Amino acid sequence: MTGAPYWYPVPDVDARAAQVADSFEQVHSAPAAGVWAAPGRVNLIGEHTDYNGGLCLPIALPHSTFVAASSNSSNELVAHSVQRPDEPLRIALNDIGPGRPAGWGGYVAGAVAMLRAASDGPRVAGLTAVVDSDVPVGAGLSSSAALSCSMVLAAAELAGLNWADDDAGRARLVQVSVRGENEIAQVPSGGLDQAAALQCEPGHALLLDCADHSLAQVPFDVRVHGLALLVIDTRAEHTHSGNEYAARRAACEEAARELRVTFLREVADDPLEQTLAALDERELRPLVRHVVSEIARVQQVCELLDAGRLPEIGPLMDASHVSLRDDYRVSAPQLDVAVEVARTTGALGARMTGGGFGGSAIALLPLDAVDAVSEAVHEAFARRHWTSPAFLLAEPSPSGRRIR
Ligand code: GLA
């Protein structure tokens, strides 16, 4: 007996926002000034391209992190997390710095500190917040960006900054969140996750050009085609993923230096064999091959989506997975099995999504194959005595915003 596949509950945003408002009131004996939310994401394609100035194509998930917050006059950041009740956060704004506070508070404090640094208008004062989240943690679905982005939305509005109201302001909020993660939480993430959390639109994937930060909304409505996008959280632990991520990023920077460009994106249109031959360090070649070929795959997927040919993107997803597995070497056995089983039981295409070394895979499949594929993956994991995977269906959802 392997039991039935586990499905993450489909969240009711308004009910969850009311719940976190109640939690705030219980902890602080006063109502919150507002509740803000930002979603997790899956990246359709364009992996490990963001920090190379490349292209990526995320969608926002229906699952969000919620922040109920008010200003305070003590110049402190005070935050509680429903998921981490034993780790309350209290820090003077002036004490926030690299690695301070550590842990989940770094994402919250990073957003606030970098917003203070970036805003020359109204002052960002002390903040009191309660955080609650539906984004699965450790699943490669960007729960950390959902946290920093929901916080930056709350902090900005409470400081009288209306940056969330237009595209240019949102782009600034993305940069603030990225800096908060890089400099305070000290995670060298590349910008994909924060852009997805703050710039996606429902029914669309976000084509993100990480060289000039330009955006395009690309139609992505799987249901019109009788399809679904299944997310398979392999629940494989990504031990060492932080070090491996930093190592890949450093290797790409080294390759760019050898090729005398700032970002690998700049060689994306050159003949690939010529570029690879110019690299003396042979072990850098497969990494560059992944980055360059992945950027081309993003362009091909967008062309198909713009032409209304969504069901045809499957082979490009498959090719992306192979490239991440064999050339970039960021997959994991659980991801490879999830992808393989999904494909052999009816998916049109499947790939790992996010940073890798564990986390989630996505599969594009006919709606009526969802049960068969999820059951087959569940059983394949049980046969190997792996932790059971968990599933959700990704509907392209709205980005971060004030809920109440
Ligand atoms: C993680 C990082 C992103 C991006 C992806 C890989 O999710 O946070 O910036 O680099 O990995 O595409």
pLDDT digits (tens, 9 = 90+) for 238-293: 766 789 999 999 999 999 999 999 999 999 999 999 999 999 999 999 999 999 99
What are 94-153's pLDDT values in tens digits? 999 999 999 999 999 999 999 999 997 677 789 999 999 999 999 999 999 999 999 999
Q: Find all residues with CB under 8 Å of 355, minimum gap 6, and list them.
A: 47, 48, 140, 238, 241, 245, 330
Q: Which CATH architecture has domain 222-393?
A: 2-Layer Sandwich (3.30)
Check if the beta carbon of residue 404 is closer than 8 Å to that of residue 157: no
φ, ψ of residue 54 to 5 degrees: the values are -95, -155
| Listed residue (199, 35, 186) closest to 105, CA to CA | 186
Residue nearest to atom 2 of ligand 1 (CA): 189
**Token couple for 270:** 């050159």
Angstrom distance (rounded) from CA 39 to CA 60: 6
Angstrom distance (rounded) from CA 230 to CA 227: 10
Residue nearest to atom 11 of ligand 1 (CA): 355
Q: Residue 56 CA: which ligand 1 atom is closest? A: 12
How many other CB atoms sit within 10 Å of the CB of residue 388? 17
φ, ψ of residue 257 to 5 degrees: the values are -60, -45
Angstrom distance (rounded) from CA 235 to CA 212: 35
Instruction: Please state the pTM of the whole predicted model.
Output: 0.97
Q: In this structure, which topology does domain 6-219+397-402 adopt according to CATH?
A: Ribosomal Protein S5; domain 2 (3.30.230)
Domain positions in the chain are: 6-219+397-402, 222-393
Catalytic-role residue among 50, 132, 193, 233: 193
Q: Cα(45) to centroid of ligand 1, in Å? A: 11
Q: Tell me whether residue 280 is one of the annotated catalytic residues.
A: no
What are 345-362's pLDDT values in tens digits? 999 999 999 999 999 999
Q: Residue 49 CA: which ligand 1 atom is closest? A: 12
Angstrom distance (rounded) from CA 141 to CA 378: 19
Residue 311 has pLDDT above 70, yes or no: yes
From the CB of 48, is ligand 1 less than 6 Å away?
yes
Check if the beta carbon of residue 60 is closer than 8 Å to that of residue 41: yes
Check if the beta carbon of residue 47 is closer than 8 Å to that of residue 291: no
Q: Cα(404) to centroid of ligand 1, in Å? A: 30
**Token couple for 217:** 């909304």
